[in-house]
Structure 1
């Protein structure tokens, strides 16, 4: 036999001078086969390097035991923690996970989703790119009743499970904290409001200003992709205003860090002259000087819940069910960058 060729059950049967059907039953632990025969067949299969044809088996069963995950950026702590939560549940349930990132690009997201559909994943967990303003590629799944769960950045129009946080409350909480610290001209660096995530955070920011009798000014709200360069350009734009702000609530920690680096370079003191708060609690936000105030999402727990919902739906024969939108809690993490009124030690 050619050593490079894949070993089949027929090769094992020929070696043991038994039928291929007996080998197949033994490898699948059929109770009709004695334990002694099973042990002999499995031992030889291992020695010969036999590997079952998973693809053929999946095609017969119409199930791949694989789920797909699409995230905007894998290198963000929130998304990597979320993926860890999904993998814990998936592994324990016998599922493999295919992880892809859209790089916040709609066209790449569309190709990834179409590829996962073509490869017959049993279900999909996704968070939208910043550019996503159309959803036909996700309807490939809903049209075929293939389970779909959205998290963080979701599609309100599609019927699917959704795992989110209260982004309106996030925006309100961050802005109210800055107001409580004595800042009065507060700017907001927002992501694209085509996504409800960023729209709702902005509305929470506005409501906190209104509640405290502070004016909402369009010139203090900047929309971009929240990258490091975007943060730097935004703070330059804000500081160049005739009446610049004295604080900013940023849509993520990456842009907040780049703002802080620029302000330190030109001599603006944080938090004495300027308050800063980010979002997501990236690991670096705690170790930089000054440390960055932020809001933390329970990413790992969101991943656990998303995987539980998806796998439950995959394994439920009756697909008609009420889809859930689960809102997870957030925590305001107060650090040096916004703590202008820190209590003085005695």
Structure 2
């Protein structure tokens, strides 16, 4: 049978009205348990599929939530998604995942597709190349809750869940100073993203608070990959006064830096200390386990979901929350001098 079964077919088979079938399928309390059971059994036999989009349009609730991330294959973002799902699945929500690959055009397309799918909310991490805010305002104008996690833009009415990146940069740098390092380089990400700018500010302040002169030659903006770590170390080690430590805004860049330092015969951590950022799974399992800043992604995901749920509950009240999680420094072999 090619034609889809409709509520009218079920009504005809049971000799009841289509309205009765519709109410039974939608748990209407006016319908008796016996009638509802009969309708559900008949619907299953006749292979009836409810039109979820039509239901969403009618009820204004789809039980779907959109999650937009730059990359799904980064452990950090997949762990955030896990946290979101752990919080929302038990409540009957389904998560639709989109990725932007750092492109603003993809971000806009994803948001429009999610709005067309009648999602109940959008939780997202802003792409690196995102410059405008009109697509975010469009979400708010549709009365759809929007929550930024990790990377955010300042948009009135949007709640955010982040870690204290400034404090993370400060703590990581202070730890290196406590290990006796005084020429600390910083490998930073793109300052178009507030997170990288704040990690840099924390790094700089820790130096100044501990009487260490800030040296702009020790700060390099890089891509977040291993090759960038190789190149950065090559550049730093040709300076007249090379550094004796690196605080990197990325674990991948820190890994590349460690590989290059080893290639050059530099002893880690005896002569050179390294701290990364994100607590990627590989950091624990390296020959020398890598010190890093844990961004608590599962907790960040759970908290983002909780903020969304609060907004849904208080649908008549506009809520704007700024949740800031405390970073957790994981001190391991690459920054612990004997």
Output the TM-score relative to the length of structure 2: 0.94
In the other structure, the counterpart of 1:53 is 51
* Among candidates 17, 28, 31, match of residue 30 of structure 1: 28
In the other structure, the counterpart of 1:199 is 197
In the other structure, the counterpart of 1:318 is 316
Output the TM-score relative to the length of structure 1: 0.92
1:195 offset after TM fit, Å? 1.8
Mapped partners of 1:8, 1:326: distance in 2: 46
Helix, strand or coil at the partner of 1:187: strand
Unpaired segments ≥5 residues, structure 1:
none
* Change in CA separation of 1:232 and 1:107 when aligned onto 2, cut-off 3 Å: farther
1:108 offset after TM fit, Å? 2.3
* Change in CA separation of 1:271 and 1:319 when aligned onto 2, cut-off 3 Å: same
1:176 offset after TM fit, Å? 0.8
Mapped partners of 1:212, 1:337: distance in 2: 22
1:157 offset after TM fit, Å? 4.0
Per-residue CA shift, 1:246-268, capped at 9, x if unaligned?
11100011111111122222322
Helix, strand or coil at the partner of 1:40: helix
Quote the RMSD (CA, aligned, Å): 1.7
| 1:256-271 → structure 2 map (5 Å cutoff) | 256-271=254-269
* Among candidates 137, 160, 171, match of residue 135 of structure 2: 137
> Does 2:338 align with 1:337?
no
Per-residue CA shift, 1:134-155, capped at 9, x if unaligned?
2222121123332111111111
In the other structure, the counterpart of 1:251 is 249
In the other structure, the counterpart of 1:177 is 175
In terms of mean alpha carbon deviation, does 214-223 or 98-107 score higher? 98-107
Per-residue CA shift, 1:98-120, capped at 9, x if unaligned?
11122223332232223223333
Helix, strand or coil at the partner of 1:233: helix
In the other structure, the counterpart of 2:222 is 224
Contact 1:117 1:140 survives alignment (8 Å): no
Unpaired segments ≥5 residues, structure 2:
none
Per-residue CA shift, 1:22-64, capped at 9, x if unaligned?
2223223334433333222221211121111111111112222
Mapped partners of 1:116, 1:40: distance in 2: 35
Mapped partners of 1:34, 1:108: distance in 2: 48
In the other structure, the counterpart of 2:110 is 112
Contact 1:130 1:191 survives alignment (8 Å): no
Contact 2:165 2:327 survives alignment (8 Å): no
Contact 1:175 1:208 survives alignment (8 Å): yes
Mapped partners of 1:19, 1:143: distance in 2: 39
Between the two proteins, the alignment pairs up a number of residues equal to 338
